[in-house]
Amino acid sequence: MPRKSHVTDNSPQSEEVYRDIVDHVLEGIIVIRGNQVLYANPMASEITGHARSAIEKIALIDLIHPEDQGMIRDFQQRRREGNPIPSRYDVRIINAHHEMRWLTLGQQYLEWNGLPATLCFFSDITDNKRLQEELKHSLMEREAILQTAQVGISLTANRIHQWVNRAFADMVGYEPHELIGHNSRRHYPSEESWQQLGELADEAIKRNETFTTEWPSIHRNGKLSWVRMSAARVSADDPSKGIIWSVLDITNHVQAEVEMREALAKQQQLNQMKSRFVSMTSHEFRTPLATILSSAELLRHYRDRMPEQEQEGLFVSIESAVKRMGLMLDNIITLGRADSDRLEFKPTLIDLRFFFESLANETAAAISTPDLLSPELVMNLDTSVTSAWLDENLLRQIVNNLLTNAFKYSPNGGKVRFDATLENHVLKLKISDQGIGIPAEEMPNLFESFHRASNVGNIPGSGLGLSIVKKSAEMHGGTVEVSSQVGRGTCFTVKLPTRALEPLNG
Amino acid sequence: MARILVIEDDPTIRANLARVLRFENHEVIVAEDGHVGLQAARTECPQLILCDIMMPRMDGISVLNALRPDSQLSVIPFVFLTARADRAEVEAKLTFPADDYLIKPFNLQELLAVVNRQLENQRKLYGLSDSR
């Protein structure tokens, strides 16, 4: 052992060098035999607080902190029995100022004045110990905070999880150890989504900013959620220290927001419908009311001066105005029932040819006014159109409203075509005109109650017809389709499934 | 007695208005839409115009807007017959105001009151005699 050989070298020159080293070394050095301190260097005196002359009079065990005295006695015992003891350990002492100090200590056996002795060298590590304790404590505190936090927290480097807290692991459905060491791709809905987020975050992080966004996230069970996440460098000036992410599940907020927006839109729609209803009723009811009132007053005040035939005409106009209002009320009630699911559906066996022919002619006649160009009605009922089980009232509403519209919105005449086929238990009605058409931007609201297209001009109408057509078709489990071109014409196609079970004798 | 132009697309209301006014000893010219009405206003020299708002081809608002810039025709009292309660919306579309409004359904009394008041104002303003 080199140290031993140096110590036992007793040439005067090496003695001097040795003393110089021992006096100036930054470790405390003492030589002991049993409990007796034989030698102490200046640093040993500084660390223990005892003068070098005093130190040699102190029993070693008295320097040791009472709690560590047992350990030292144990070492002494083992030493006597020839058992090995650690060559390096930490021990507490009580210094001359009655303060506890931590020492880290190594020992070596040697001969001192011809007898075996122990050389102890030690340094004061009290400050290190305290820092270590504080660090341990603060790490434990931090761990507790991170683990109990409601937000998910992850530390990543190159998008690989270095550490995640419980909340983060729960949020994505994995155990922390299943995430750590793996990249974050797994809890993104797609490769693109993962890449895109990475690029966005990188940009902000490179500028040393905190990146915040709302992003979709996918749970291990496949369920999609929305999270609000923030990311920032752990160390502002050292990107290699990684990025800390905090993640909050906002799916419920997003959901609530969506629902709120929908409710608001629905409310606005209702309000619009209400105001359309008010302006429609205002016009559509006031006109027949004006007819009734003026006719009644004429009869009351000027009856004597009118021939019988003219009086009769006034009664007729009162009656038809009342009918017109009654029909409009029926329409409103029908819609009201449909909206509250109280519309009746009572299919009966209908002779379709007779039904369509008489209804079409009736409608065409009712709508035609002598002073306007009336379109020509072209009917084409396929031979397959015989009889079917359908609700007569609802079918009447469909055909009547579509034909009325076709005529009404064809101010320049042209042809109104009515085609019908009955194949595979589906009655297909096609009603087309060469009229003013429907602007494309009106299509989404076309079937809404009280809604009328922007290009109707002064053509009267309640905005109820198509709404009723749609409800009536739906009551049959059928559909309504529309195609239109402004200035060219409109084509409605209604498909109604007819009852599959037909009675034996038609 | 006065010469009154009635512009109204609903045939029954048009006929009834004409009847009432004739029974009240006025001379009545009728037109079934704004276009015909505007022609009649130019050629028939009416002393009062009663005009519906919602009509095919040319509405009442366009009729009034076409009449007002004409110095000869702008002096003719012009009364709107409207089924609409939203008078503000109508007024927003007018370059010049109408002289009065009759909201449908109006009764005989209201009609005659408006007609007589407009004719009276006209006489006071321009000193026109009844028998023009």
pLDDT at res. A451: 79
Task: Read off the tokens for B42.
Answer: 């130019």
How far apart CA A301 and CA A305 sit, in angstroms, is: 9
Contact yes or no for A283 and B13 at CB 8 A:
no
Contact yes or no for A297 and B59 at CB 8 A:
no
Per-residue pLDDT of chain A (506 residues; tens, 9 = 90+): 344 444 555 566 777 888 888 888 889 999 888 888 888 899 999 999 988 888 888 888 888 999 999 998 898 888 888 888 888 999 999 998 999 999 999 988 888 888 888 889 999 999 998 999 999 999 899 888 888 888 899 999 999 999 999 999 999 999 999 999 999 999 999 999 999 999 999 988 888 889 999 999 999 999 999 999 999 998 888 878 899 999 999 988 888 888 999 999 888 888 887 777 777 777 788 888 999 999 999 999 999 999 999 999 999 889 888 877 887 888 888 878 877 777 788 899 999 999 999 988 887 776 655 545 788 899 999 999 999 999 998 999 899 899 989 988 988 889 999 999 999 889 999 999 999 999 999 898 899 887 788 888 767 677 888 999 999 999 899 999 999 999 999 999 999 998 754 444 44
Of all residues in chain A, the one with the smallest CA distance to B56 is A458
Rounded (10°) CA dihedral A172, A177, A179, A183: 180
pLDDT at res. A12: 64
pLDDT at res. A216: 92
List of chain B residues whose C-beta atoms are within 8 Å of the C-beta of residue A371: 32
A205: nearest Cα among A239, A161, A168? A239
Neighbour tally for A5: CB within 10 Å:
8
pLDDT at res. A215: 93
Of all residues in chain A, the one with the smallest CA distance to B82 is A283
**317-346 in A: which are within 8 Å (CB) of B?**
317, 321
Of A286, A371, A372, the CB nearest to B104: A286
Contact yes or no for B23 and A301 at CB 8 A:
yes
Task: Read off the tokens for B78.
Answer: 């012009």
Helices (H), B26-78: 34-44, 60-67
Backbone angles phi, psi at A102, to 5 degrees: -95, 130
How far apart CA A299 and CA A315 sit, in angstroms, is: 9
Burial annotation A306-327 (CB, 10 A radius, 16+ → b, else e)? beeeeeebbeebbeebeebbee
A282: nearest Cα among B89, B59, B99, B51? B89
Task: Read off the tokens for A302.
Answer: 């000027």
Contact yes or no for B10 and A287 at CB 8 A:
yes
Contact yes or no for A297 and B12 at CB 8 A:
no
pLDDT at res. A372: 58
pLDDT at res. B94: 80
Task: Read off the tokens for A441.
Answer: 């931007």
Contact yes or no for B104 and A287 at CB 8 A:
yes
Name which of B6, B8, B10, B13 to mutate to probe chain A: the one with the most chain A Cβ atoms within 10 A of its Cβ: B13
Place of tokens 């907020």: A253
pLDDT at res. A505: 44
Neighbour tally for A384: CB within 10 Å:
13
Cα A440-A441-A446 angle, rounded to 5 deg: 85
Task: Identify residue A350 by its one-letter amino acid code.
Answer: I
Name which of B9, B10, B12 to mutate to probe chain A: the one with the most chain A Cβ atoms within 10 A of its Cβ: B12
Contact yes or no for B84 and A317 at CB 8 A:
no
**Residue A219 class from Cβ within 10 Å (0-12 exposed, 13-18 middle, 19+ buried)?**
middle
Is cis: bond before A503, omega within 30 of 0?
no
Name which of A458, A459, A462 to mutate to probe chain B: the one with the most chain B Cβ atoms within 10 A of its Cβ: A458
CATH 3.40.50.2300, domain B3-126, yes or no: yes
Within an 8 Å CB–CB cutoff, is residue A301 touching chain B? Answer: yes
Within an 8 Å CB–CB cutoff, is residue A368 touching chain B? Answer: no
Q: Which residues pair with A479 in a beta bridge?
A: A495
Place of tokens 């409608």: A363
Cβ–Cβ under 8 Å, residues A170 and A217: no
Place of tokens 């079937």: A447
Q: What domains sit in chain A, N to C, each tagged with a CATH number? A: 4-130 (3.30.450.20), 149-249 (3.30.450.20), 344-501 (3.30.565.10)
How far apart CA A441 and CA A183 sit, in angstroms, is: 48
Neighbour tally for A44: CB within 10 Å:
23
Query: In what side-by-side order are the strands of the sheet with A376-381?
Result: A376-381, A415-423, A426-432, A489-497, A479-485
Burial annotation A221-252 (CB, 10 A radius, 16+ → b, else e)? eeeebbbbbbbbbeeeeeeeebbbbbbbbbee
Question: Nearest CA of chain B to the CA of A317: how many Å?
Answer: 7
Is residue B131 pLDDT above 50, yes or no?
A: no
Q: pLDDT digits over B19-69, tens only?
A: 999 999 999 999 998 999 999 999 998 999 999 988 877 889 999 999 988
Q: pLDDT digits over B55-113, tens only?
A: 877 889 999 999 988 888 888 999 999 876 667 777 777 878 889 999 888 999 999 99
A269: nearest Cα among A438, A401, A444? A444
Q: What is the pTM of this model?
A: 0.53
What is chain B's length?
Answer: 132
Reported ipTM: the value is: 0.87
| C-alpha to C-alpha distances, A381 to A8, A298, A419, A421, nearest whole angstrom | 129, 47, 6, 7
Task: Identify residue B39 by its one-letter amino acid code.
Answer: Q
Cβ–Cβ under 8 Å, residues A462 and A331: yes
Task: Identify residue A129 by its one-letter amino acid code.
Answer: K
- Cα atoms in the Cβ-side hemisphere of radius 13 Å centred on A73: 8
